[in-house]
Amino acid sequence: MTFAVTILGAGSATPTLTSHASAQVVHMGSDYYLIDCGEGTQYRLLEQKIRPGRLKGIFITHLHGDHYFGLFGLLTSLSLGSRTEDLLLFGPKGLSEILTEIFRQSDTRLSYYLNFQEIDAENPGLIFDSSLFSVSTLPLRHRIPCTGFLFREKIGERNLIKRKILPEMSHEALRMLKGGQDVMDGGGKLLYACEEFTTPPAPPRSYAYCSDTIFRPELVPYLEKVDCLYHEATFRKEELPRATKTHHSTAGQAATLAKEAGVGKLLIGHLSSRYTEAGPSLEEARNIFPETYFAEEGQTYTI
Which DSSP symbol is given to 26? E
The predicted-structure confidence for 98-142, as pLDDT tens digits, reads as follows 999 999 999 999 999 999 999 999 999 999 999 899 999 999 999
Give CA–CA dist 218/221, Å, rounded: 7
Query: Would you state the pLDDT for residue 17?
Result: 87
14 pLDDT exceeds 90?
Answer: no
In the chain, the domains with their CATH numbers are: 3-156+202-302 (3.60.15.10), 159-199 (no CATH)
This prediction's pTM: 0.92
Predicted confidence band of residue 36 (pLDDT cuts 50, 70, 90) = very high
CB 257 within 8 A of CB 215: yes
Q: Give pLDDT, residue 191.
A: 85
| 3 state SS for 35-73 | ECCCCCHHHHHHHCCCCHHHEEEEECCCCCHHHCCCHHH
Annotated binding site for Zn(2+): 62, 64, 66-67, 142, 212, 270
pLDDT (0 to 100) of residue 16: 87
Cα–Cα distance for residue pair 295/279, rounded to 1 Å: 12
Which of 36-40, 140-144, 191-195 bottoms out in mean pLDDT, i.e. has the lowest?
A: 191-195
- Which helix (H) or strand (E) segment is 232 a member of? strand 228-232
How many residues are recorded in the chain? 303
Q: Is 120 a catalytic residue?
A: no
- Residue 15: which pLDDT band, with cuts at 50, 70 and 90? confident
The reported pLDDT for the residue numbered 188 is 84
> Cβ neighbours of residue 224 under 8 Å, at least 6 residues apart?
261, 262
Predicted pLDDT at 123: 94
pLDDT digits (tens, 9 = 90+) for 59-103: 999 999 999 999 999 999 999 999 999 999 999 999 999 999 999
Question: pLDDT-based confidence at 186, cuts 50/70/90?
Answer: confident
The dihedral through the CA atoms of 29, 127, 303, 204 has a sign that is negative
**What's the confidence (pLDDT) of residue 185?**
81
pLDDT band of 276, cuts 50, 70, 90: confident
**Alpha-carbon distances, residue 303 vs 3, 27, 57 (angstroms):** 6, 10, 19
* Alpha carbon 142 to its chain's center: 19
Residues 6+ apart with CB under 8 A from 183: 173, 176, 177, 190, 191, 192, 194
Distance between CA atoms of 97 and 131, rounded to whole angstroms?
31
> How far is the C-alpha of 295 from the C-alpha of 222, rounded, in Å?
21
Angstrom distance (rounded) from CA 277 to CA 279: 6
Active-site pick, 66, 182, 185, 227: 66
The binding site comprises: 62, 64, 66-67, 142, 212, 270
